[in-house]
Amino acid sequence: MRPDKMILTAGPSISQKEIDYVMDAVKNGWNFNFSDYVEKFEDALSKYTGAKYALGTTNGTSGLHLSMRLFGVGPGDEVILPDMTYVACANVIEYMGAVPVFADIDSDTWCIDPEDIERKITKRTKAVMPVWMYGNAPDMDRIMAIARAHGLYVVEDSCPALGSFYQNRSAGSIGDTASFSLQGAKIVATGEGGAFVTSNPIFHDRAKSLYDHGRDFGRQFWVHEYGGYMYKMSNLHAALALAQLERVEEFVAKKRELFSWYTEGLNDVDCLVLNKPLPNTLSNMWMSSFVLKSNSPVTREALRAKLKERMIDTRPFFYPISMFPMYASRKFNNPNAYRVALNGINLPSGVERTEEEVVYICEQVKEILEAR
């Protein structure tokens, strides 16, 4: 095969269901029906994840920010998060005037290393933010045990992990709170969008007010002393979100199938390692990815450039956040995060990719890595 257009890393599948729900919302979602789809989406998400409560939000970042507010994270407090993650995670800590403390990651799962969380706990630590990196589960039992022993809150950044499980518990149902993202590249996609979930009724009630300007629902237009934000999902987005969520199992199956084809095609290449989730977990394989080992004959950038010439789009892993200019004055020693982040590549993983395309991609990767 010789592709005539770029094979993209991501992109949604939009069926008649999505179109029907959005059309219905745009025609009928007004006045007394203004939040019908929001409520349906929230119910469906709470059922799917097993978290007692779900709130549709404007994006994944807002759910993480709400969690910081709920935990009372403030100036001088520290929050521990993996060094390799999306910058949103550090930014929400900065919003509170608090200090992000970057921990190293596990080389296999690419998620935060629990032992390094323990090393980085101080008197000022208030919370931990494990991230379900590319859909892989962090070691949640170990992390919860450490957090409980030290009186820390846990917010799961489960943004990319709808459809992933840790020992039969859904992403987002294990920590005190969690956030999902429905951004256009995610497994369930609405362009921009997200959801906050929790099983704690106090956190839920407070979040429901905080994400709507701190409103007091007992008295119209009155607000609580704590103020708030405008982080509510729109009904139109919720219509799209509901249709996509109803298809999540189909998407997970497809992503996992893509990963099995990549595994078949690349398993015997000895200068790279593919996703390696923990046993007893199920990754939604949001992104089929690999990390180049030090014996790779080409750099990541050279490999990506060569793949692009062959019409294959890839993404570099997230940079270690501690590498950004704003953290230049602080020192962190996170060797796994730097090695993985600077040598990792996300492969085309959209749910519309085909076996033929994956076979082609694997052939090209091999050809580039095996030519000396």
Ligand X SMILES: *Cc1c(COP(=O)(O)O)cnc(C)c1O
Binding-site ranges for ligand X (CB under 6 A): 59-61, 85-86, 88-89, 131, 157, 159-160, 181, 183, 194
Q: Which is nearer to ligand X, 25 or 66 (CB)?
A: 66
Q: How far is the CB of 185 from ligand X (least distance, A)?
A: 7
Least separation in angstroms between residue 191's CB and ligand X is 10
- What is the closest distance, in whole angstroms, from the C-beta atom of residue 294 to ligand X in the complex? 26
Min. distance of Cβ 367 from ligand X in angstroms?
30
CB–CB of 238/188 below 8 Å?
no
Output 159 or 358, the one with its CB closest to ligand X: 159
CA dihedral of residues 36, 42, 46, 51 (deg, nearest 10): -140
Q: Which residue is nearest to ligand X (CB)?
A: 60
Cβ count within 10 A of residue 128: 30
Beta carbon of residue 224, minimum distance to ligand X (angstroms, whole number): 25
Residue 243 or 287 having the CB closest to ligand X: 287
3-class DSSP assignment, residue 236:
helix
Say how far apart CA 244 and CA 195 lie, in whole Å.
13
Distance CA 249, CA 11 (A): 17
Nearer Cβ to ligand X, position 67 or 183? 183
* Min separation Cβ 158 and ligand X, Å: 8
Is beta strand 177-181 parallel, antiparallel or unpaired with respect to 153-157?
parallel
CA 355, 358, 359, 364: dihedral to nearest 10 degrees? 160
Question: Closest separation between CB of residue 59 and ligand X, Å?
Answer: 3
Nearer to ligand X, 252 or 365 (CB): 252
Three-state DSSP state, 203: helix
Please identify, using beta-carbon distances, which residue of 153 and 180 lies nearer to ligand X.
180
Evaluate whether 349 touches 9 at the Cβ level (below 8 Å): yes
Q: Considering beta carbons, is residue 158 or 296 the nearer one to ligand X? A: 158
Helices vs strands, H then E, count in the chain: 12, 14
Going across the sheet that includes 194-198, the strands are 53-57, 194-198, 177-181, 153-157, 125-128, 78-82, 99-103
